Amino acid sequence: MEKLVVQKYGGTSVGSIDRIKAVAKKIIDTKKSGYDLVVVVSAMGKTTDELLSMAYDLNEKPSNRELDQLLATGEQISISLLAMALESQGYNAISLTGPQCGILTDPIHKKARISNINPQRLLSELEQDKIVIVAGFQGINEISDVTTLGRGGSDTTAVAIAAALQALRCEIYTDVEGVFTADPRKVENAKLIPKISYDEVLELASLGAQVLHPRSIELARRFNVPLMVKSSFKNSNGTEIMEVDTMENVSVRGVSLDDNIAKISILEVPDKPGIAFRIFSELAKNHVHVDMILQNVNRNSVNDISFTVSQDDFKDAVKICQDIGFEIGAQKVIYDQGVAKLSVVGTGIGGSAEIASKYFETLYNLGINIQMISTSEIKISCIIDKALSEEAMKALHDAMGL
Amino acid sequence: MEKLVVQKYGGTSVGSIDRIKAVAKKIIDTKKSGYDLVVVVSAMGKTTDELLSMAYDLNEKPSNRELDQLLATGEQISISLLAMALESQGYNAISLTGPQCGILTDPIHKKARISNINPQRLLSELEQDKIVIVAGFQGINEISDVTTLGRGGSDTTAVAIAAALQALRCEIYTDVEGVFTADPRKVENAKLIPKISYDEVLELASLGAQVLHPRSIELARRFNVPLMVKSSFKNSNGTEIMEVDTMENVSVRGVSLDDNIAKISILEVPDKPGIAFRIFSELAKNHVHVDMILQNVNRNSVNDISFTVSQDDFKDAVKICQDIGFEIGAQKVIYDQGVAKLSVVGTGIGGSAEIASKYFETLYNLGINIQMISTSEIKISCIIDKALSEEAMKALHDAMGL
């Protein structure tokens, strides 16, 4: 639909009666500019916490099915309130829950994936010139139970609807102004990036600069939905995320730092085929996501295997490595929680010796040791000492001319 | 279903985490006795008020459709919490919203009427030996929008489900112990009535002793669903409401007092055909419910017409009578808010001269003037001075040997 814009407002954007009024004003401004509108909304700021607290008072391990039934009320409250706010200004609005909106999902409660959107109701309301307010984060499974989409759920709802209706673009309103060349809380002269490719923003997201959940970015890329990230509170242009025409030019987009990680090493692993496979398949089976891997080949037919995981998975990962390390006859397991991953991201970076050498030189000048390196088409990441990582990020941001 | 009991718990019964736990215990006791269970629940005590307050902060006149979308979350919260409480005790439970439960209604938001129940989901969950927790007060219309049933809605949901599943009985848990021979807050020696007919309890309800909404009683009568009214907080037998076998015996069930009424008189109405019709059809058009009517035939071809209305309709009724009184050439409109309706209810009373004379004698002995009288098969009602009405009720309760 040529005139259709999908907007998404998060929990803090609709966290109070006054903020709901402010969001209504933003929506009306867009409507007045001649656009059709579908607006996806999250639950009001604290609603989810209050509901969860009651749930856990009654049951330490409530079933996921009942948790979804409970939590889905959060968005149902915010969509109906927002629709009322629009009605009070004389605009035709209608709120739709995930189920009413035809958002079909698989049966997995608490982390359902959207399988299809039946846009019939959406289209019929839009044809009546209504502003359609949709509950983010939720859908309906085959047996008409409410499911929730898990992390990044509301962003995913917005992108999925934009894809299903072939919207002009999908605008994500959030508490930051857009995607920056580095974390603006840590790097003073970080700049807003006006335009960035899906791949680059995906790398930045997975490297810790999480303005959007990778899941919604991937969905936008797959269906080629132009994404805008903007501030709910300030009037600024934000960041536009789209397919970039040429991949030939090397351009550095930003630097990012992830210090929520840990490094684990299994020492003196016998050098036999299948050993590394056993370790990493066991970790995968236990849902531990391994990021960077380094294998040092020693003499005496033994190897040291090191890898990084997120702090969330750290305890599980150490336990699994100790068990399996004993089985396979490794010498011991050591770990280091004092590390961070510093990355530089941009189209064509992976093939550019110039960027890499500039990066390494920056760390060398600061006397920082590189513990691990990983590269892809569009990024270079190094594991370094966490204590020095913020200083390194600032220097790298300057060195890259951002 | 032979082993099926439907229970209903109101808003105060599930008003806090502790009360939800207490309700879970009551449910488990019933389940342990070998019954299958469908439990209908209202919204937690104050939820509805909190939601309404947010709504009116955003919109003075929110649409009924969005109000229903908002308010329906109240029951969705209480059903999922109750299901979690049961799960934590090791019982298999599942919560169903009105839409999930197949409660189809007409499209009238805020006061929808149930048109049909599609029991497929209910039956399938019961077959899996689950305790099914259903959101009261709500249903779904043809276009998949949530509707609410208005006053007495949750009781009506419970009775409708009991009818659809041909349950053994429907138990309504409330904050009173059952139906009494008089209001126990006003008449000390009022007694709990163990068994009463639908008609009798309907009269008591419409006469002010409103333990159950007349709507749910009518539905129970139509589908012959045995009803039990019991206390949520005390262990007592409550009142059983059912079709009484014989209507031949005269038996006084109770007395009731409605002091939320007013009397309006139109004086010196010309005695022409169609005049009374014009007055009462105009009141009906304006949704004023007229209860008792008295017409005194005077000399000179003029009549005085008096009637009673509830205090809620009083202002509207006076205004309408003044307008129409002027039109039809009546002399003036007078009114009296200091009246009350005292009734005695029981099978066969209407045909019993003995009961009537005992009633009138009681008032005579107290020096109370009878302003209006109305009788039906199962009740005698008098309009008397409000100031003397409680004393009269106590005396009548004694005189009837209750």
Asked if residue B41 is part of any domain, the answer here is: yes
Listed as ranges, residues in chain A with pLDDT below 50 are 247
- Interface of chain A toward chain B, CB-CB under 8 angstroms: 17, 20-21, 51, 54-55, 57-63, 65-67, 69-70, 72-73, 76-77, 79-81, 83-85, 87-88, 94-95, 97, 99-100, 121, 143-145
Give the containing element (helix H, strand E) for A328: none
Distance from CA of B98 to the nearest CA of A (A): 12
Q: How confident is the model at residue B209 (pLDDT cuts 50, 70, 90)?
A: low
A208: left (phi over 0), alpha (psi -120 to 50) or beta: left
Q: In whole angstroms, what is the distance from residue B118 CA to residue B219 CA?
A: 17
- Say what the pLDDT of residue A275 is: 83
Contact: B58, A20; criterion CB under 8 Å? yes
**According to the model, what pLDDT value does residue B175 have?**
83
CB pairs under 8 A between A and B: 111
Q: What percent of chain B stands above pLDDT 70?
A: 97
Q: Which pLDDT value is given to residue B212? A: 86
CB A100 within 8 A of CB B144: yes
Nearest to A265 by CA among A331, A340, A342, A341: A331
Put simply, the answer to whether B67 touches A80 (Cβ < 8 Å) is yes
Q: Supply the pLDDT for residue B335.
A: 95
Shortest Cα distance, chain A CAs vs residue B144, angstroms: 6
In this prediction, residue A348 carries a pLDDT of 78
Within 8 A by CB and 6+ apart from A364, the residues are none
Type of residue found at B396: L
**How confident is the model over B283-334, as pLDDT tens digits?**
988 888 888 888 776 667 788 889 999 998 999 999 999 999 988 888 899 9
**H-run or E-run covering A160:** helix A153-164
pLDDT at A162: 97
Residue B183 DSSP SS3: coil
Task: Give chain B positions within 8 Å (CB) of A20.
Answer: 58
What's the burial of A245, exposed, middle or buried (CB within 10 Å: 0-12/13-18/19+)? exposed
Interchain pair B59, A121: CB under 8 A = no
Distance between B157 CA and the closest CA of chain A, angstroms: 20
- How far is residue B153 from each of residues A77, B80, B114, measured CA to CA in Å? 21, 19, 10
For residue A80, the distance in angstroms to the closest alpha carbon of chain B comes to 5
Copy the structure tokens of residue A207.
Answer: 């490297």
CA distance A191 to A184: 8
**CA–CA separation, B276 vs B296, rounded Å?**
12
B40-66 confidence digits (pLDDT tens): 999 998 899 999 999 999 999 999 999
Average pLDDT, chain B: 91
A87·B121 Cβ contact <8 A: no
Q: Distance between CA atoms of A352 and A354, rounded to whole angstroms?
A: 5
**What is the model's pLDDT at position B208?**
62
Answer yes or no: are the C-beta atoms of A9 and A232 closer than 8 Å: yes
pLDDT at B123 over 90: yes
What CA–CA distance (Å, rounded) separates B211 from B241?
A: 12
Q: Which of A63, A73, A85 sits opposite B76 (nearest CB)?
A: A73
Largest alpha-carbon pair distance within chain A?
80
Q: Is the pLDDT of residue B248 over 60?
A: no
CA atoms within 13 A on the CB side of A337: 8
Q: Tokens for B190? A: 């009022």
Q: What region does B236 belong to: left with phi over 0, alpha with psi -120 to 50, or beta?
A: beta
Domain membership of residue B54 as a residue range: 4-175
Interface test with B, best of A41, A58, A75, A124 (most B CBs within 10 A): A58
Q: Do A41 and A135 touch, CB atoms closer than 8 A? A: yes
Contact A84 B59 (CB under 8 A): yes
Total domains in the fold of chain A: 1
What local confidence, expressed as pLDDT, does residue A392 receive?
95
* Beta strand B103-105 pairing with A239-242: unpaired
The verdict on residue A116 lying in a domain is yes
Residue in chain A lying closest to B85 (CA): A58
Strands of A290-297's sheet in order across: A290-297, A302-310, A261-270, A332-336
**Residue A149 covered by a domain:** yes
pLDDT attached to residue B35: 97
- Residues of chain A positioned with their CB less than 8 A from the CB of B59: 84-85, 87-88
Pairing of strands A93-96, A103-105: unpaired
Q: Which CATH number characterizes residue A154's domain? A: 3.40.1160.10
DSSP-assigned states of every residue in B201-257:
HHHHHHTT--SS-HHHHHHHHHTT--EEEEESSS----EEEE--S-S-S-EEEEEEE
Residue B85 is nearest to which of A20, A59, A143, comparing CB atoms?
A: A59
Lowest mean pLDDT among A273-282, B124-133, B393-402: A273-282
